Amino acid sequence: MADPSNLAFFLGGQDLEMLTIRDLVNEISPERLFDKNLPWGAKASAYRAEIDDAVASGLQPVLVELDDDIGVRGSHVVVDHHGSRAGANKPTSLHQVFDLLQLPRSRWTRWFDLVAANDRGHIREMRRIGATEEEIARVRAADRSAQGITEDDELAGEQSLRDARLIADGRLLVVRLPHAHTAVVADRVEMDRDPPESLLVISPNEVNFYGPGAVVEMLASRYPGGWSGGALPERGFWGHRPEPRDIVELLQTTVEPAFGQTARSS
């Protein structure tokens, strides 16, 4: 176990979980917290100078959801819950940082439970742990705010949903969104008590899928170089930049019938 007094934390893309991690680390060791308010997809090179200084000072860097594109030298810790580190039974990034700080379990709060569940499996996971609709609404509003989503983004999401197409025998909702803040669509869809099995959001130069884990794994294998995560293997998300040209046709034939039958029986 790493010595918490010897750790320097470098934070990745902004969302509610990252802000929660920032506040937690700032409370314990603000002098060893580095946060440049980076967007999703952030890389370690954004902190190149600061990481080099930390290593030279004998500190152990902790890369929190940062792609190590500079080959950080020496001993360092990677904190993440995406790609191969994702999964319903794997610790979220918030859990990992909490453990690295070696905090007593009494410091873990109901809010942390909600934030971790939100990160692991969005609204369905929060409902699974018994979150109220008020708690869910509060968490999702805070997450969208942390991502920098504006009122104009929200309105665009509402319009995109009005123009959406439900295909694959009602299992797949296809939404074309004029920006990449897909939460404005995913939140509205999932707040419905009977949402479609799968959601595909097509943004300029980007695509994001939410649905059965088997489909997520198929997409990650077919289109490498994207991103994925969630409460796998049951459900999760996948994204890729740019949009594969055949993505709608592929999902229409994939979600029904084989993968769709699997998801309905799970």
Of the residues 70, 97, 118, which one is the last residue of a structural domain?
Answer: 118
> Is the pLDDT score of 262 beyond 70?
no
CA distance 131 to 48: 40
> Is the pLDDT score of 191 beyond 70?
yes
The mean per-residue pLDDT over the stretch 215-239 comes to 95
Q: Are the C-beta atoms of residues 174 and 248 closer than 8 Å to each other?
A: yes
85 shares its domain with 161: no
24 shares its domain with 81: yes
> Is the pLDDT score of 184 beyond 80?
yes
Q: Are the C-beta atoms of residues 53 and 61 closer than 8 Å to each other?
A: no
- Report residue 171's pLDDT band, with 50, 70 and 90 as the boundaries: very high
Q: Are the C-beta atoms of residues 40 and 148 closer than 8 Å to each other?
A: no
Structural domain that includes position 239: 149-265
pTM of structure: 0.90
Enter the tokens of residue 18.
């990252």
114 shares its domain with 155: no
Q: What is the CATH number of the domain that holds 184?
A: 3.10.310
The mean per-residue pLDDT over the stretch 222-238 comes to 95
Q: Higher pLDDT residue, 142 or 40?
A: 142
Enter the tokens of residue 149.
């989503």
Assigned domain for 137 exists = no
- Report residue 164's pLDDT band, with 50, 70 and 90 as the boundaries: very high
Assigned domain for 128 exists = no
194 shares its domain with 105: no
244 shares its domain with 189: yes
> Is the pLDDT score of 263 beyond 70?
no
105 shares its domain with 12: yes
> Is the pLDDT score of 260 beyond 50?
no
Chain mean pLDDT for the chain: 93
The mean per-residue pLDDT over the stretch 182-198 comes to 95
The mean per-residue pLDDT over the stretch 36-61 comes to 94
Assigned domain for 140 exists = no
Domain count, the chain: 2
The mean per-residue pLDDT over the stretch 8-30 comes to 97
Contacts of 229 (CB under 8 A, 6+ apart): 81, 82, 83, 86, 236, 237
The mean per-residue pLDDT over the stretch 63-92 comes to 91
248 shares its domain with 183: yes
Q: Are the C-beta atoms of residues 151 and 215 closer than 8 Å to each other?
A: no
238 shares its domain with 180: yes
State the pLDDT at residue 257.
Answer: 58
- Report residue 2's pLDDT band, with 50, 70 and 90 as the boundaries: confident
Q: Which of 69-83, 119-133, 169-183 has the lowest mean pLDDT?
A: 69-83
State the pLDDT at residue 85.
Answer: 84
